[in-house]
Structure 1
Amino acid sequence: MKRWTQWIGAGLLALACTSAPALADGPVPERSAAEEKAAFEQDRADILAMAGDYKVRFDMQESTPWKQGYTPLDAKVSGGHESVRVVEDTGRKIILQHLLVAEHGGTTFVIKHWRQDWEYEPDRILAYTGPNSWKWEEVPEAFRQGRWSQTVYQVDDSPRYAGWGRWETVGGVRRWRSSWTWRPLARRDAVRHPVYDRYLAINRHQPTPDGWIHWQDNMKMDGEDTPIVQEYVLNTYTRSSDYPTEAADHYWKATSDYWAAIRAEWDRVAEANGGITIEEEAETGTVISARLLEMGSAIEAGDLSTEKAIAEGVRLIREHTS
């Protein structure tokens, strides 16, 4: 009864705060210590299973218009190859780095892609709060037990969005479903300068027999928080070694120390300032993203030392988040 009362109180509080999306689900049922441990280990296994080498299919479709006169965009399907590597695993925290592997003109190259950090029973998340701004947001105490947060970072390791939820089995299928999360526009939308400027979304991760899927249920909103159109995104990761996976490992071995320092500096700024504020632009994400990525490629090519790249990267982050 006590936990149920806490849940009702937390839910009403969230609904009353117009700046925060509503909660996505109820409390985790009471479990014995053995059940809690088994669930925790199963959750970890599902998260770690997302690491590997994949052929990826990106399927995006605006569907239901919520604003009179708005015409949804045509469906867009694309794909590629992506390697996902475990950067850190401390038990209660797991970091997965995505690396796109592409070929052009007979040359293979690697693009550092998004990163996902998972944390068990967190007390806060670094949430998107509006243009150019991310702030620490408390996870309601009644919704911490048995749950994991997922924080997604952009290609330069600046934050993108964060949510929390639990892993569960529904209809014989495992899934993790996030709380409602605010998110900045993806590049595919931002470069068009549309009438909407953010997403209100729920994310789902689900293991499949040959990989995993990432569902995104996106409500595209304008600056007045008026809904414009609904969108679904289904990213399908199918295990594959039919591409030069060694290129991803070569890039990561050469640049991992550099990116560790960049992650640490973003973390330092977030702690010192209660969040992160940095200007973004449609084409690149943050205004320093292109340079941070360029330096990673230069390190791999042997044209720039890790030490010099770290020094410049730290300077850029400090200058643009002051």
Structure 2
Amino acid sequence: MRTKNLLLAAAISLNCLAIHSQNNKKQKDIASIKSMCGCYEVQFNFAETFQYAKDTANYKPSNTKHDYGLEWIELVEETPNKLMLQHLLIVSDDMIIKHWRQDWLYQNTDLYTYNIENNWKYNKLSKEEVKGQWTQKVFQVDDSPRYEGTASWVHIDGKDYWMNTTDAPLPRREYTKRKDYNVLKRRNIHEITTSGWLHEQDNNKIIRNENEKDIVLAQEKGIDTYTKVEDSKCIAAQNWWKDNNGLWKNVRTKWQTIFAENKDLTLEKKVSNKPLYSLLFDLKPTATKTETDAIIDSFIVKE
């Protein structure tokens, strides 16, 4: 009996240690995600590296891109299992652009995976598949879906990063210029550094047709460098968000209702010859939820 009690006590102790270790790891993950918030000088760099087009004589690779900007990243929401980070691009004190948004969900099992033609497939993952992992959900400037992926944060040998590969629509720097591919397979690495953080990408430009094997047209390298600066440099964005947060909360709430249906989603590219972001950006901060709901509903392709 004494031996059995000792074994039971040892098992309970090991289980408590495992739970404690998992909680410590989760807190490190949260600290890494939250450290991406604040005011940053950003360098956006993209270069096409390899081409695989059959017609090499007429193939035109994308130009190498170097852009710079100042961004405020606002922690919009924080709960034990979710962090919401909104990027705001500062063009000038009088011109703030609502940029992309990234949500981080702990051990999330509901995923929307990009397919083609503004279509996202709903996938239900098992709890075992996502144990200890964080899903990064990335949204367009109008809070419509972009891409999602799940992976574990890694904290080892002084390195602090998260890496995942997933499919996405063409980026804004490409979709008005390129018609020769229709999916971007992105390997995203978010790494925390002593001066801020890096968003590194290794991307495949994919030609995808239903029921056919994907064709890799070209590859590209992306390195976006976020260098932390004083928050006071981004005061214009902070003030803008205070004035406009209500409008975008209504937009997010509507999208969350749509995502909660847990079914495939297809969106129109334009309504009344305008993209969704244009219609929403034209609204005043005082616009009602009824107005934003109606605009978003008009882009949902009914089955």
Q: When the two structures are superposed, what TM-score results if normalisation uses the length of structure 1? A: 0.81
The question of whether the paired residues in 1 share the 8 Å contact of 2:71 and 2:90 is answered with yes
What amino acid does structure 1 have at the position aligned with 2:208? G
Which digits, 9 at most, give the CA deviation of each residue in 1:105-161, with x for residues without a partner? xx6310000000000011121221221112321234432111000000000000000
Partner of 2:246: 257
Distance 2:83 2:27 in 1: 13
Distance 1:110 1:320 in 2: 25
Secondary structure of the residue that 1:236 maps to in structure 2? strand
1:290 partnered with 2:278: yes
What amino acid does structure 1 have at the position aligned with 2:135? S
Partner of 2:158: 172
Which digits, 9 at most, give the CA deviation of each residue in 1:139-184, with x for residues without a partner? 3443211100000000000000000001113542111011x21100
Distance 2:217 2:141 in 1: 27
Secondary structure of the residue that 2:280 maps to in structure 1? helix
Cα pair distance change 1:41/1:273, threshold 3 Å: closer
1:279 partnered with 2:264: no
What amino acid does structure 2 have at the position aligned with 1:311? T
Distance 1:109 1:244 in 2: 14
Partner of 2:28: 42
Cα pair distance change 1:277/1:192, threshold 3 Å: same
Q: Given the alignment, which residue of 147, 159, 171 partners 2:133?
A: 147
Distance 2:231 2:83 in 1: 27
Question: What pairs with 1:4-15 in structure 2 (closer than 5 Å)?
Answer: none
Secondary structure of the residue that 2:105 maps to in structure 1? strand
Unaligned stretches of 5+ residues in structure 1: 1-30, 300-304
Q: Given the alignment, which residue of 291, 299, 302 partners 1:320?
A: 299
Partner of 1:232: 221
Partner of 1:215: 200
Offset at 1:59?
0.5
Which digits, 9 at most, give the CA deviation of each residue in 1:199-247, with x for residues without a partner? 1121110001011011111100113321000111111110123874111
Moved over 6 A (4+): none
Distance 2:52 2:20 in 1: 47
Unaligned stretches of 5+ residues in structure 2: 1-16
The question of whether the paired residues in 2 share the 8 Å contact of 1:81 and 1:243 is answered with no
Distance 1:38 1:272 in 2: 33
Which digits, 9 at most, give the CA deviation of each residue in 1:45-80, with x for residues without a partner? 000000000000000011011234145333211110
1:88 partnered with 2:74: no
Distance 1:54 1:275 in 2: 36
Secondary structure of the residue that 2:261 maps to in structure 1? helix
Aligned length: 276
Partner of 1:75: 64
Partner of 1:270: 259
Cα pair distance change 1:140/1:272, threshold 3 Å: closer
Q: When the two structures are superposed, what TM-score results if normalisation uses the length of structure 2? A: 0.86
Distance 1:241 1:62 in 2: 33
What amino acid does structure 1 have at the position aligned with 2:177? R
Offset at 1:265?
0.6
What amino acid does structure 2 have at the position aligned with 1:314? D
Cα pair distance change 1:242/1:80, threshold 3 Å: farther
The question of whether the paired residues in 2 share the 8 Å contact of 1:61 and 1:231 is answered with yes
Distance 1:251 1:133 in 2: 32
The question of whether the paired residues in 2 share the 8 Å contact of 1:85 and 1:97 is answered with yes
Structure of higher CA gyration radius: 2
Distance 1:189 1:205 in 2: 22
The question of whether the paired residues in 1 share the 8 Å contact of 2:42 and 2:70 is answered with yes
Q: CA RMSD in A?
A: 2.0
